[in-house]
Amino acid sequence: MSSKEEASSMRLNRFLARCGLGSRRHVEELILKGRVSVNNSICRELATLVNPSKDIVTVDGKFLRLPALVYYKFYKPRGIVCSMSDPHANETLATILKRENIPQGVVPAGRLDKESEGLLILTNDGELLHKLMHPSYGFKKVYRVLLDRRPSEKLLSLLRKGVVVEGYRMKPVKITRMGPQPKDEENPEGYWLEVVLIEGRKREIRYMMREAGFKVLRLVRIAHGPVNVGTLKPGEIRVLEEGELTSLLSQVRNTNEKRPVKGGAAR
């Protein structure tokens, strides 16, 4: 293989992830199970290099073509199930993406529960999805949380130290007071906090606040890594601006140059 051909080649697992077949772990399982063929020969070698413009790659006999990479940000409204398939939901993220003519293979980097709202980064870039979703790469998620009452300093100290739920200590990176809820908004009472997570689990903020004796009236994700929700309104979706994408990909490159931090799965 010439140096020019090598420069245009990529590892098979990366190619499969770019084609939207899932996380790196998932596509590696496909390879190891013998479900992937390269130029009509089953390939079980993870380090195999393929040239997308020349090699024929199939999974279960289906030919794969490398799609153009696309990047969006979306303000998920409350009441929408953040799923690509749910027969019990009235409306899912998948139905919204279809209605907005978003290309197939575009999925969210993580989820928000049905009653939560705010920023989701959407893309078909499998490598980016993996790094945004895995907490070991240190991408921070910033939330605004409306509680049913003002927390005392004692309770804030408890939250900062972390509370134990089902044997797991849930601890934010940072909690900051934002202030009381303005009287003319949808929820006339309450108090806002800003919570930053890297490490986390499904519905972590809700469980953490419940254990501390609070009721969550509203939960909004306002940032994921360097991307902010900005002026997006609930239900709006748009392509990432050049500056946003540059900042995001730059942070991804930086994660390649330093050892990942430890952490659990974040939601």
Which residues are the active-site residues?
Answer: 113
d(CA 48, CA 38): 9
Phi, psi (deg, nearest 5) at residue 250 = -65, -40
Residue with tokens 């996380």: 23
Distance between CA 9 and CA 52 in Å, rounded? 7
Question: Are the CB atoms for 122 and 108 separated by under 8 Å?
Answer: yes
Q: What end-to-end distance do the CA atoms of the chain give, in Å?
A: 43
Three-state secondary structure of 143-170: EEEEECCCCCHHHHHHHHHCEEECCEEE
Query: Mapping DSSP to helix (H, G, I), strand (E, B) and coil, where does residue 29 land?
Result: helix
Kind of pairing, strands 163-165 and 227-228? unpaired
The span from the CA of 226 to the CA of 246, in Å, is: 10
Strands in 41-42's sheet, in edge-to-edge order, are 41-42, 36-38, 57-59, 62-63
- In 3D space, the residue among 16, 106, 1 whose CA is nearest the CA of residue 54 turns out to be 1
